[in-house]
Copies of this chain bind each other. A is one copy, B any other.
Amino acid sequence: MNRLKLIPREEFERIRNTGTAEKVRLALIADMCRANTLTAVKLAGSGHLGSSFSAMDIVVLLYYRVMNTMRLGIDHPDRDIYFSSKGHDVPGLYSVLHSLGVLSRDNLLRLRRLGGLDGHPDIAIPGIESNSGSLGMGISKGKGMALAKAFAGRGGRVFVLTGDGELQEGQVYEALQSAVQLGVTNLHVIVDHNKVQSDKLVREITDLGNLEEKFRSFGWHAKRCDGHDFASLEAVLHEFETVRDKPKILIADTIKGRGVSFMEHPQALREGGGLYRWHAGAPADEPFWAGYQEITGRINALLEKQGLGPLRLEDIETEHKAQSGVSSEYVAEAFGRALVDVAKTRKDLVVLDADLAADCRLRYFEEACPERFIENGIAEQDMVSTAGGLALQGFLPVVNSFAAFLASRSNEQIYTNACEGKRIIYVCHYAGLIPAGPGKSHQSVRDISLFGALPGFEVIEPCNGDETRMAVDYCVNRSKGNCVLRLVIGPSPRTIELPREYRLSIGKGVFLKEGTDGVLFSYGPVMLHEALKASDVLQKRGVSLAVMNMPWLNAVDRAWFAEVEVRFPALYVLEDHCVVGGLGDRLLRALVEQDLRLGRKFRCFGVEGFPACGAPLEVLRHHRLDGESLAERLMEHLEAKSSTPPGRQP
């Protein structure tokens, strides 16, 4: 691969200070930001180009023309505030903030890296006004900010950008209603109406109808214009200043992937057979360079036309990324295939999705059984309650979304369904700490605890493809209750080997490695890999640590557990979850049910604090959950004297 290149900040200064028409300047800056966004995402190995590009002209216009923020300073109380509710378009915003000198070159080149720029917005980053990434919260938050400005008598406007797929989230309509009622007039919402959500057209997922009519029916002042035409955008935003009695919304018609011909959605959808493939993820080398040359070529042509010298690009030193091991196995893939298999004999099985069908590997099912596949759009609460209705009528719904959204946002709907005692299978995709690039809005380390107090739920996390197939079969054909299947979304660091004769048996784990000095319980491919690494490290130091795969996260077979625990002086748990509310709490409770024992060591390792953003290994190290760190922590604990004198009894 050629060396990646960045357009340095000075080049933006040069363009700003030319005497060309404003429209030309803005177009140049937007394209320059697109080029830098492309570089940052390529370097990061992931990130959202499609909507960074569709929103780019709007963001550039806001920061360069409309808002007072750069003039007053990004911390000034009277500043205009901008943030994106969808949040995944933040690489584009970072490039704009870099172009303005708010973010440094080093910042921009550390997208999705530890200590760098989070994959979704985080207010710890200069210029970022709100955390986002989980959809549908932005208008509410902007409303809170606008209220605060009014309460405090501060100046400045609040601009919130939303996606269009995002408008499927119900919270949007709560905010539309309450903003009008509360007289919030200093709130300007811009819909980046790029017509495409994850990988399909919005109207194929859940159509939004006539948006202007809809927003007006909620009492908002609504306008619509071309979201790539600076003059039109500016005119509408200017007109909004004259509307003083209502909150305002602009539907900006944009093109997803704008600026790179083959990423622009009309062409991209044709080439993808109806699927858009530039929503997330870094392009391979060939399309990357094709795109990069298209953008920079256009910039240079325009510069030349204006009588200006060509772009000066800086070469980038590409640091070699610390990599955790990676196999070709995806448990999610095994899940997707198993679902199709099991559906052959279970005609009552229906599958529900909230616009994550590709990530959740549901396309196999969608293709095999389209009549039993429900694409519900980005509306988790509605999806879960719909599943409840299906279950009441005798179907077995399999409900899919990312763990962070499903377990949390639709928690009350899950509870209400559970009260009815009908069986539903909830599949929590993207569970756990890794991948850590998207950041804390997407990493799910609370889901076990969120299901913990629901009566009659079995939470299972399989460690490899075979166990995933067994788990799907168990949930569908053998369980009598509600099931939660917790799945890692990324590639397994290694394929965990299970004994040939291994079968899933409720509440029982299986040794992956024998040992005598202690036993480490864990689950899932990511953490079992680290557990095995830790055991290997300890072995070299003469410590014999057994490793147990425990896929039952909230069920313990007592007789089995009594036989296991009695063999070890020290019991450890490694969570792909917070320490609170995970497997450790459950094992501890099982242990104590037989009264506490003398001098037994017990410790639980898990994610403490919010999950960090970065490459897998650097984030595991940050949380001291990688094999090496674990070995150290285990050693330390094993060697520590018990704080209780043996035999001391109250």
Contacts and interface: CB of A to CB of B under 8 A. Distances in A.
Nearest to A391: B144
A298 interface: no
A450 interface: yes
Interface string A207-227: 111100110011100000000
A412 B134 CA distance: 8
Contact of A145 (B177, B379, B389): B389
Contact of A178 (B210, B376, B595, B596): B376
B217 A210 contact: yes
Interface stretch (A64-72, A300-308, A492-500, A600-608): A600-608
A411 to B, nearest CB: 5
Interface string A412-433: 1101101111000000000000
A345 interface: no
B170 A578 contact: no
A420 B395 CA distance: 41
A102 interface: no
Interface string A442-477: 000110011011110000000000000000000000
B388 A453 contact: no
Contacts of A32: none
B381 A174 contact: yes
B585 A596 contact: no
A49 to B, nearest CB: 24
A368 interface: no
A376 B379 CA distance: 21
A141 interface: yes
Interface in A357-415: 371-372, 374, 376-377, 379, 381-395, 397, 404-405, 408-409, 411-413, 415
Contacts of A452: 449, 452, 580-581
Contacts of A383: 140, 178
A419 B394 contact: no
Contacts of A311: none
B390 A144 contact: yes
A595 B566 CA distance: 15
A408 B404 contact: no
Contacts of A577: 453
Contacts of A129: 392
Interface string A75-111: 0000000000000000000000000000000000000
Given A123-B392, A144-B386, A595-B599, A174 B608 contact: no
B595 A171 contact: no
B148 A390 contact: yes
B596 A148 contact: no
A195 to B, nearest CB: 15
A197 interface: no
A383 B139 CA distance: 11
Contact of A143 (B386, B394, B585): B386
A63 to B, nearest CB: 19
Contacts of A170: 136, 169-174, 381
Nearest to A641: B595
B178 A419 contact: no
Contact of A173 (B173, B411, B441): B173
Interface stretch (A266-274, A326-334, A542-550, A586-594): A586-594
A622 interface: no
A123 B420 contact: yes
B650 A387 contact: no
A140 B386 contact: yes
Nearest to A385: B140
A149 B137 CA distance: 34
A112 interface: no
A168 interface: yes
A593 to B, nearest CB: 8
Given A170-B171, A374-B182, A392-B130, A416 B214 contact: no
A382 B610 contact: no
Q: Which 4 A-B pairs give the minimum distances between C-beta atoms? A: A144-B389, A170-B170, A148-B393, A140-B385
16 contacts: A123-B392, A141-B386, A168-B177, A171-B385, A178-B382, A178-B383, A180-B209, A418-B610, A419-B441, A455-B610, A581-B581, A585-B585, A585-B589, A588-B588, A595-B643, A598-B599
Given A137-B388, A408-B412, 4 more contacts: A140-B384, A175-B382, A411-B450, A595-B599
